[in-house]
Structure 1
Amino acid sequence: MNDIHEQELPERVRAWAVRAVDPRARVLSAERLQGGTSSIVHQISVGIGKEVKSFVLRQFHKKDWLEQEPDLARHEAEALGQAARAGVPTPEIIAYDETGLHCGLPTVLMTKLEGNVVLNPRDMKPWISGLAEALVRIHAVEADDFPWAYFTYQNLEGLEIPEWSDKKDQWKMAVDLVRGPRPEVRPCFIHRDYHPANVLWHGSTVSGVVDWVNACRGPAGIDIGHCRVNLAQLYGVAAADAFLSAYLVHAGASFCYDPYWDLLSLMDILFGPPEVFPGYIALGMTGLTDRLMMERLDEYMVSLLERFDL
């Protein structure tokens, strides 16, 4: 059997995919996709007679993640079903192997969306507006009956002031704020990992949103905050602020902004000194350094504190 980490998919996985798509099908090619770091993702081209279709096969291989969330494959499968209600193109679930009984690892097979990740747009303003509008559409989906609920990745009581920053007084204020009472919000359907590398484009139009394994019922502000902290690291505070402004325009009266969720989203990514996300490098984003990430996170944190009535 081939090693699952190699480009070639094991025969048992190919056979499972074929059975799920069409017993008459045959796998023409399987290409490892770049950019993802939390799972192994392949694009599979399948021939059915004279027709060729493309699918995405995702396998969850990180033991620590599976120990915490053993239902990852089922979670993504059901999230894709929920996401289909949004007015944004999303992958269609074909099949999933929740325990890895058939594929060796928990696996999800889904349709492949057209489009590409764009990290260096020619014009930032419409690009940011498109990111924001797609997220507003996602948040319009009701999620009262969706079984997965939002939780923070951090133990807030155990948060420490970042050693890498020289703005320790401001970070202390930020930590104290996130430990305080949370604003009351009505939960909606959230992506939970919404950032530019999970949004596909065709020309100047969003052609799809991918990577739904973390989707849950929770506060819209968490999605906005997660995207903003990613934008702040990629381009600076101005881009993060432009995204918030665009979201507020598209959402209108349906959303009430509170900087608490931005601050909580920032804290949720602080696991050691900031580092450049490998996925951004794999997707062609150059010029980023760990030092730049630190500087931009400091600047972003200070900008958030200025939004509070202290």
Structure 2
Amino acid sequence: MIAGFEVEIGWAESAWHRRIVDVRPLTGGWTSTMLALTADDGERAVLRLMTKEPWRRHAAGLLTREATVQRQLHGSRIPVPRSIALDPPAHLMSWLPGNLRLDSAAEDVLEVMAQTLADIHHFDPGLDRPRLYQSWAPPGKRVIVPWMRRPELWGQAFELLEQPAPAYAGTFLHRDFHLGNLLWSRGHISGVVDWVETSWGPADLDVAHAATYLAMLHGIEASIRFTDAYRRRTGDRSDEEQCRYWNVLDIVGYLPDPVKVVQPWRDSGLDITDDLARRRLEQRLEHVLRAGLNSR
């Protein structure tokens, strides 16, 4: 057993009606402690513990939302864990096969990602829509900080976000869709995890978030190719200028410093420095602002 979590593991045994014989930590996340559990009958599960603030303070709402969405999506085309038991800040869910695939932005990876995101956006929750999306770029984040090499770009971004959000058609959103929340097996996505932020809002916001993550992980070209793949899959004819607001909203959401997402990448064996992630985030901002800058 892992020291410090005896009480939570005991709760999982009681809720799961199995004796747990092996516990191992899972890497890749930064809001929660994730534990892979194996029972004496060979069954496996995953225990999510919201151990970090401010998420722990809001664990009841976040984990209840995750459990609800997992029940909604059960039987759909989207591979999701099954909620077994909930006692915030703990959520016990079924184990899914597969591994993270953070080290590749090959064409097949981006195409499968794009199709999975399109499937999520096509899901109809009926009358049980999730909450309206929330901005992760409030005014308090719109501040020039020392690592920025192009402060004028960030000034343009902050100015853009002072404008009203564009009109959009509402869609079922994962809201945190990126390579770090996808499990892969034999070239296919075997699991989409982390549904605590599921929302109703513009599809472009989900696309933007996945693209920004790809840009920091693999460079600006990967973000462009993913966005193009999604648009081909959905017939979306939006251009970068039309999507600029949502892209900028997502990018600014990583401030004051994107390094919070970098350590899990290094834990997974990738050699990405804090400075490289920052530079790539700024390059992504330059790319999405280019249409607007060129027209001024």
Calculate the TM-score normalised by the size of structure 2: 0.89
Task: Please name the residue that 2:224 is paired with.
Answer: 241
1:90 aligned residue (55, 74, 80): 80
Q: Answer yes or no: is 1:300 the counterpart of 2:284.
A: yes
Q: Answer yes or no: is 1:225 the counterpart of 2:220.
A: no
Task: Please name the residue that 2:69 is paired with.
Answer: 79
Q: What CA RMSD, in Å, does the superposition of the two structures yield over aligned residues?
A: 2.3
Q: Answer yes or no: is 1:210 the counterpart of 2:193.
A: yes
1:230 Cα deviation from its structure 2 partner: 0.8
Q: Answer yes or no: is 1:13 the counterpart of 2:3.
A: no
1:254 Cα deviation from its structure 2 partner: 9.2
The aligned length equals 291
- For 2:199 and 2:158, the matched residues in 1 are separated by 25
Calculate the TM-score normalised by the size of structure 1: 0.86
1:86 Cα deviation from its structure 2 partner: 4.3
Q: Answer yes or no: is 1:28 the counterpart of 2:26.
A: no
Q: Answer yes or no: is 1:197 the counterpart of 2:190.
A: no
1:142 aligned residue (124, 139, 142): 124
Q: Answer yes or no: is 1:282 the counterpart of 2:267.
A: yes
- Residue 262 of structure 2 contacts residue 273 of structure 2 at CA under 8 Å; is this kept in 1? no
- For 1:131 and 1:57, the matched residues in 2 are separated by 25
The alpha-carbon distance between structure 1 residues 159 and 69, as it changes in their structure 2 partners (threshold 3 A), is: farther
Q: Which runs of 5+ in 2 are unaligned?
A: none
- Residue 8 of structure 1 contacts residue 30 of structure 1 at CA under 8 Å; is this kept in 2? no
The alpha-carbon distance between structure 1 residues 92 and 263, as it changes in their structure 2 partners (threshold 3 A), is: same
Task: Please name the residue that 2:257 is paired with.
Answer: 272
Q: Answer yes or no: is 1:133 the counterpart of 2:115.
A: yes
Q: Answer yes or no: is 1:108 the counterpart of 2:91.
A: yes
**Residue type at the aligned position of 1:265:** D
1:70 Cα deviation from its structure 2 partner: 4.1
Query: Secondary structure of 2:165's partner?
Result: coil
The alpha-carbon distance between structure 1 residues 93 and 129, as it changes in their structure 2 partners (threshold 3 A), is: same
2:168 aligned residue (185, 195, 215): 185
Query: Secondary structure of 2:190's partner?
Result: strand
1:127 Cα deviation from its structure 2 partner: 0.7
- Which segment is superposed worse, 152-161 or 55-64? 152-161
- Residue 276 of structure 1 contacts residue 293 of structure 1 at CA under 8 Å; is this kept in 2? no
Task: Please name the residue that 2:37 is paired with.
Answer: 44
- Residue 64 of structure 2 contacts residue 86 of structure 2 at CA under 8 Å; is this kept in 1? yes
1:307 Cα deviation from its structure 2 partner: 3.3
Task: Please name the residue that 1:65 is paired with.
Answer: 55
- For 2:119 and 2:234, the matched residues in 1 are separated by 9
The alpha-carbon distance between structure 1 residues 109 and 178, as it changes in their structure 2 partners (threshold 3 A), is: same
Larger relative helix fraction: 2
- For 1:269 and 1:299, the matched residues in 2 are separated by 14
**Residue type at the aligned position of 1:93:** S
The alpha-carbon distance between structure 1 residues 301 and 86, as it changes in their structure 2 partners (threshold 3 A), is: farther
- For 1:95 and 1:217, the matched residues in 2 are separated by 25
- For 2:8 and 2:179, the matched residues in 1 are separated by 30
- Residue 7 of structure 1 contacts residue 31 of structure 1 at CA under 8 Å; is this kept in 2? yes
Greater relative contact order, per chain length (Cα 8 Å cut-off, separation 6+): 2
- For 1:274 and 1:97, the matched residues in 2 are separated by 31
The alpha-carbon distance between structure 1 residues 241 and 7, as it changes in their structure 2 partners (threshold 3 A), is: same
CA deviation digits over 1:142-166, x for unaligned, max 9? 2453342211123236612343223
Task: Please name the residue that 2:143 is paired with.
Answer: 160
The alpha-carbon distance between structure 1 residues 273 and 285, as it changes in their structure 2 partners (threshold 3 A), is: closer
1:255 Cα deviation from its structure 2 partner: 7.5
| Percentage of pairs with the same residue | 30
Task: Please name the residue that 1:103 is paired with.
Answer: none
- Residue 275 of structure 1 contacts residue 293 of structure 1 at CA under 8 Å; is this kept in 2? no
- For 2:45 and 2:172, the matched residues in 1 are separated by 25
Q: Which runs of 5+ in 1 are unaligned?
A: 1-5, 99-105
The alpha-carbon distance between structure 1 residues 258 and 209, as it changes in their structure 2 partners (threshold 3 A), is: same
